[in-house]
Amino acid sequence: MLIYSNRLHVRPAALIAGVSLLCSVGTAHAAGVTDQDIINDAQTTADVVGWGIGPRGQRYSPLKTLNTENVAKLVPAWTFSFGGEKQRGQEAQPLVHDGKIFVTASYSRIFAIDAKTGEELWQYDHRLPDGILPCCDVVNRGAALYDNLVIFGTLDAQLVALDRDSGKVVWKEKLDDYKAGYSFTSAPLIVKGKVITGVSGGEFGIVGRVDARDAKTGELIWTRPTVEGHMGYLNGKESGITGELNATWPGDLWKTGGAATWAGGNYDPDTNLIFWGTGNPAPWNAHTRPGDNLYSTSTLAIDPDTGKIVWHYQFTPNDGWDYDGVNETIAFDMDGKKLAAHADRNGFFYILDRSNGKLVNAFPFVKQIDWAKGIDLETGRPIEASARAGDPSKSEDGKKGEVVFVAPSFLGGKNWMPMAYSPDTNLFYVPANEWGMDLWNEPITYKKGAAYLGAGFTIKPLFEDYIGALRAVDPKSGQIVWEYKNDAPLWGGVLATAGGLVFTGTPEGYLKAFDAKTGKELWKFQTGSGVVGCPVTWEMDGEQFVAVPSGWGGAVPLWGGDVAKKVKYLNQGGSLWVFKLPKA
Question: Does position 18 have pLDDT exceeding 50, yes or no?
Answer: no
Residue 265: CB atoms within 10 A of its CB come to 31
Residue 57: CB atoms within 10 A of its CB come to 29
Which residues have CB under 8 Å from 19's CB, separation 6+?
A: none
Residue type for position 187: A
Strands (E), 246-369: 265-268, 273-277, 298-302, 309-314, 330-334, 337-343, 348-353, 359-364
| Percent over 90 (pLDDT), the chain | 90
d(CA 559, CA 435): 13
DSSP state of 286: G
Question: Does position 28 have pLDDT exceeding 70, yes or no?
Answer: no
Q: What are the b/e assignments for 114-138, b being 16+ CB within 10 Å?
A: bbeebebbbbbbbebeeebbbbbbb
Supply the pLDDT for residue 9. 63
Quickly state the pLDDT bin for 7 (edges 50, 70, 90). low
Quickly state the pLDDT bin for 4 (edges 50, 70, 90). very low
580 and 74 Cβ atoms separated by less than 8 Å: yes
The structural domains of the chain, ordered by start, are 2-580 (2.140.10.10)
CA nearest 312: which of 440, 220, 224, 424?
A: 224
460 and 435 Cβ atoms separated by less than 8 Å: yes
Supply the pLDDT for residue 397. 86
d(CA 93, CA 101): 10
Distance of CA 227 to the CA centre of its chain: 21
CA nearest 322: which of 250, 266, 382, 388?
A: 388
Question: ω into residue 408 within 30 of 0, thus cis?
Answer: yes
d(CA 227, CA 243): 8
- Judging by DSSP bridges, how do beta strands 189-191 and 169-174 pair with one another? unpaired
Quickly state the pLDDT bin for 386 (edges 50, 70, 90). confident
The sheet with strand 75-81 has its strands ordered as 75-81, 575-580, 543-550, 536-540
d(CA 263, CA 430): 16
d(CA 305, CA 130): 37
d(CA 457, CA 50): 36
| Segment 220-237, tens digit of pLDDT | 999 999 999 999 999 999
| Segment 524-540, tens digit of pLDDT | 999 999 999 999 999 99
Supply the pLDDT for residue 6. 58
Residues with active-site annotation: 322
d(CA 176, CA 156): 8
Residue 26: CB atoms within 10 A of its CB come to 9
CA nearest 112: which of 88, 90, 95, 93?
A: 95
Average pLDDT value over all residues in the chain? 94
Strands (E), 235-336: 237-241, 265-268, 273-277, 298-302, 309-314, 330-334
What's this model's pTM, rounded to 2 decimal places?
0.95
Question: Does position 276 have pLDDT exceeding 60, yes or no?
Answer: yes
